[in-house]
Amino acid sequence: MKMKPLVACLCSSAWLLLTVPCGAGAQTTENGQMARSLSPSEAPGSGVQPSISAHSAVLPVLYQLDQQPIEQISPLIQRQVLHGVQSTFVKWIVKKGGVFPLHHHANEQITWITQGRCEVNSQGKRFVLTAGTVLVIPPNVPHEFRCTEDTIDIDFFAPQRQDWIDGAASVAATPDAAADGAPSSSKK
């Protein structure tokens, strides 16, 4: 199934992450539920570039994030996922004590904490993330998350998380997640 990209842009050396992803058609989540989209209103002539032919101009799809299926990853961690062609957008809902054990992945990860607090360990450093902070994790850099409060974590991955599309479990679903940070080769 083809998916369309989410929207993010780099402006004045700060990432602006829009919470409304764009896509074509409905998506199926890992547990087989359908993502729900909203209908756009008509705006004839707006948002059209004449140099792009009609067959290559794909219409964005508007989603209401709070209406997307919620997947229970572990007793303390839930997520909502939307995949684009080149990126993946995730809303993690994490209860105090939720852990993503040490792992790495080929995707760049941009993490935005909108509520709560997490401690992220990477490369011998501890990063404390609280509401409003953003952490950019380059591809293949080992990292682990420990949420010390109930937390809402918005993640943007590029390229898309093909491993999740193919059915791989999140590292938070592994036995290592309960082992207080034991290394894992799985992925957030």
Model confidence band, residue 136 (pLDDT cutoffs 50, 70, 90): very high
- Among 161, 165, 159, 166, CA closest to 187: 161
Tokens, residue 65: 């994030």
pLDDT band at 56 (very low <50, low <70, confident <90, very high): low
Neighbours of 70 (CB within 10 A): 15
Look-up of token digits 């004045």: 12
Which residues, in sequence order, are bridge partners of residue 158?
108
Name every residue whose Cβ is closer than 8 Å to that of residue 158 and which is 6 or more positions away in sequence: 86, 87, 88, 107, 108
Provide the pLDDT confidence category of residue 2 given band limits of 50, 70 and 90: very low
For range 147-168, the mean pLDDT: 97
**C-beta of residue 87 within 8 angstroms of C-beta of residue 18:** no
CB atoms within 10 A of CB 169: 14
pLDDT for position 5 = 38
Residue 95 corresponds to which tokens in the numbers above?
């209860």
- Which residue's entry shows tokens 């952490």? 135
pLDDT of 59 higher than 70: yes
Strands in 84-147 per DSSP E: 88-94, 99-103, 108-115, 117-122, 125-130, 134-137, 143-147
Helix ranges (DSSP H) in the chain: 162-165
Does CATH place domain 8-178 in 2.60.120.10?
A: yes
Spatial CA neighbour of 145 closest among 85, 76, 89: 76
